[in-house]
Amino acid sequence: MTVDPHHFDFDLDLGIRSQVVKKLQSSPLLPLAKGVGPQASGIYALYLGRALVYIGKASKGTTKSKRTLRARLGEHVSKISGRRNISLADMKCRYLTFASEWWVFAAEFALMAHFRPEWNESGFGSKMPGVGRPGTKRVSRWDERFPKR
């Protein structure tokens, strides 16, 4: 197979990833608390101490829940507050907003591929099977590590 030295395929994934990672890492690190974040769509990162542990999104225009960043971060505050082996005081967050809902999905995918956060695979997010999900008695790794009080 001959490779054409003049041919170029733009790596859009790499372009998006490098920009969104840089922007997220330069955004302010805030305490995870009720009322943090705007009433807008976007992506967010949760940190336990200095470790990035979760990447999530809030998309008002393209999801049934119509959740905003503030609502989604508030849900995480409530979930973490009711757990053992973890303190809300140790949690921080960063977030980014976007002009287009499409960028929310692209940015979340890029950040998850780049960072591979531990909690995205553990059952922390609301879309994962685990405690409280209809039809399952399965306990997620996150629920085992941080049981309810």
Report domain extents, the chain: 12-145
Instruction: Give the 3-state secondary structure of residue 89.
Output: helix
Whole-angstrom distance, CA of residue 17 vs CA of residue 23 = 10
- Rounded distance, CA 20 to CA 115, Å? 12
d(CA 143, CA 149): 11
CA gap 149, 146 in Å, rounded: 9
- Using an 8 Å Cβ cutoff, are 73 and 44 in contact? yes
Cβ-based neighbours of 33, under 8 Å, separated by 6 or more:
77, 88
Residue range 32-90, pLDDT digits in tens = 999 999 999 999 999 999 999 999 999 987 777 778 999 999 999 999 998 999 999 99
32, 144, 129, 131: which is closest to 89 by C-alpha?
Answer: 32
Side chain identity, residue 125:
G
- The residue with tokens 């409530």 is 78
pLDDT in tens, 100-139: 899 999 999 999 999 999 999 888 985 544 455 566 677 8
What residues pair up with 57 in beta bridges, in sequence order?
A: 43
Contacting residues for 72 by C-beta, under 8 A, at least 6 apart: 37, 44, 56, 57, 58
Does the predicted TM-score (pTM) go above 0.75?
Answer: yes
The yes or no reply on domain 12-145 and CATH 3.40.1440.10 is yes
**Whose CA is closest to 111, among 22, 4, 10?**
22
